[in-house]
Amino acid sequence: MSSSQSVILQGVGFAVLATLSWACNFIAPYVLQGYSIQDLMLVRFVMAGLIAGVLLPFYRAQLRGLGPRQWLTGMGLGVLGYLAYSSCIAGGVIYGGPLMIAAFIGTVPVLQALLGNATHRSLRWRQLALPISLLCLGLVLINLHVLRDPPGAAPVLWAGLAFSLGAVLIWLSFSVINQAAMEHLHTAATGVWTCLMMMGAGLAALVLTPLAWAADLLRLPTLGFATPDALHLYGWALFIALMSSVIGAGAWNLASRRLPMVLSGQLIALESFFATVLGLAFHGRLPTMTETLGLALILFGTAQSVRIILTTPRHDARCPSAL
């Protein structure tokens, strides 16, 4: 196996870990214990910011190597890719239902793969036809119930559509900006870059907390900060913060250094795969035949994408670390 293929396989491993970690975001509706989604989100991101504050002293040398613009970019990406994206996900669930937002998020891997190939041209377009078709079909089968049972109409539906579309646009913007910024970072700065994103999201959550409190969006002040249910909420918020904000973001930054954007875009489809599996586990049921076929197509399409990248000559499929 060549060194470039080894780097790509490492990137695939980190991407799988990242998507598995990010899928933990989708268990939020199952662990609220009577509290609001705003409670969980703000507690989660404040915890992520505190974790970043604890970890940053270990990256003093790497911090000194970053300029003020890189500091602001990293923290801004945390606000965009963590807090804003999660807020749109929550808004999509509240106003359009979990089915609508799942269908919209399912378009992200396809759109990012197309965008990645358009900007970096790693592969010939006809090489993408089969894996992207498999991903599309698999995502449609998993979310087929959205077509059969669409959410309600009127202004609430339009709000759900707006939040869902916003989530897609925010994630695509985050991916492009983050991948471009990572190409100008030293390889040793990946950990501190993740910390900066976590800190940015945590500071934004602190600023938004009094506003959410004044708007009566929080239930912690009325239900109690030290009840057993509140402690249950804190535990899940810490778990999701560690999985999504620490492990997920860190693994994705490592993957971004090793993979061309056209492949990393398609690997994001694994987030829908893992989210569906976790959702089925919390519902305590097995997947239907349609869902099983959709999950299988996503796995097969992802494997086909990796095979194409590995067998493409190195001058056609360059990864950031090779550049």
Q: Which of 109-123, 253-267, 272-286 has the lowest mean pLDDT?
A: 109-123
pTM: 0.78
Give the pLDDT of residue 100: 62
Domain for residue 322, yes or no? no
Widest Cα–Cα separation across the chain: 61
Nearest to 153 by CA among 165, 143, 164, 161: 161
Cα–Cα distance measured from residue 171 to residue 28, given in angstroms and rounded to the nearest whole number: 19
Domain for residue 48, yes or no? yes
Element (H, E) at 240: helix 228-240
Q: How many domains does the chain have?
A: 1
Domain for residue 38, yes or no? yes
Domain for residue 228, yes or no? yes
* Averaged pLDDT for residues 264-290: 78
316: pLDDT confidence band, cut at 50, 70 and 90? Answer: very low
Q: What are the pLDDT digits (tens) for 142-165?
A: 767 655 655 554 456 778 778 888
Cα–Cα distance measured from residue 309 to residue 292, given in angstroms and rounded to the nearest whole number: 26
Domain for residue 321, yes or no? no
Structural tokens at position 204: 């934004």
Domain for residue 320, yes or no? no
Give the pLDDT of residue 272: 72
Q: What are the pLDDT digits (tens) for 39-93?
A: 999 999 999 999 999 998 888 888 888 888 999 999 999 999 888 988 887 777 6
Domain for residue 232, yes or no? yes
Taking all residues of the chain, what is their mean pLDDT, rounded to a whole number? 81
Q: Which of 35-44, 70-79, 201-210, 314-323 has the lowest mean pLDDT?
A: 314-323
Cα–Cα distance measured from residue 21 to residue 261, given in angstroms and rounded to the nearest whole number: 20
* Averaged pLDDT for residues 17-28: 84
Q: What are the pLDDT digits (tens) for 83-119?
A: 898 888 777 767 766 556 666 776 776 677 677 667 6
Q: What are the pLDDT digits (tens) for 226-243?
A: 999 999 999 999 999 999
Domain for residue 225, yes or no? yes
Supply the range of the domain harboring residue 47.
3-311
